[in-house]
Chains A and B, each alone.
Chain A
Amino acid sequence: NAGVTQTPKFQVLKTGQSMTLQCAQDMNHEYMSWYRQDPGMGLRLIHYSVGAGITDQGEVPNGYNVSRSTTEDFPLRLLSAAPSQTSVYFCASSYFRDSVSSYNSPLHFGNGTRLTVT
C-alpha cells in the first residue's frame, strides 16, 4: 500500500544544475500536484495536473516544469537551480472525477524531497 512515493529523499545541487524530482502514486488518482514548504511561508502550490496530458500553473511556477504522460507519474523538473529553490518539495494526489469531486477529496501527500541549492 505505497500511496504517494517521492524520490529522492534528499538532494544537494549547485546553482545552475538541473534535476528531476520524481513522484508516483498507485491510487489511480487523476489529480496530482506539487507544493513547496518553506519556514514561515507554509506550503505553496507550484503546478498541478488533472489527468494525463493536462497540466497547469499554481502559485509559484517560475523555474519549474512538469509533464504528465501517465496517470501514475508526475515529475517536477528544475531547469536551472537557484538558491531560492532550496526547500522541501511535496507531491500530493487526490481523487478526481470532475473539479467538484476533486475539491471535496482529501489530499494524499508523499514524504517529501529536501532540496538544497548551494
Chain B
Amino acid sequence: GQNIDQPTEMTATEGAIVQINCTYQTSGFNGLFWYQQHAGEAPTFLSYNVLDGLEEKGRFSSFLSRSKGYSYLLLKELQMKDSASYLCAVPRDNYGQNFVFGPGTRLSVLP
C-alpha cells in the first residue's frame, strides 16, 4: 500500500528559507507531486519530480531521493502569501491513474 508522512505545521519568518519534508512508502513509484493550498481554496500544482535530484522553479525547489523514499520542498525568500498548506502526492499505482495525498504541512509565515 501507500503511506505518506509530512510534518503537520511549520512556522518561518518572512524572507527566510524553509524546507518541508515528505516521506513515502509505495508499492511502485511514478513520480511525486507537490501542491499548494491556501486556506479554504483549491490545491494548485507546484512541482513534479520523477528522477532523483533537485528541480528548481523560481523561489521554489523540490528534491527527490527515490532510494530513501524522501522528498522536500524548499521555499526561499519567504513572503506572507506563502502561508498555506503544502501537500505531497504520489500515484497510487504504476499507471499513475490516481493519487495518494499526504496530510499536508501548514506553513505560517510571520512578519
Check if A and B associate: no
Task: Spell out B's residues near A (CB within 8 Å).
Answer: none
Task: Spell out A's residues near B (CB within 8 Å).
Answer: none
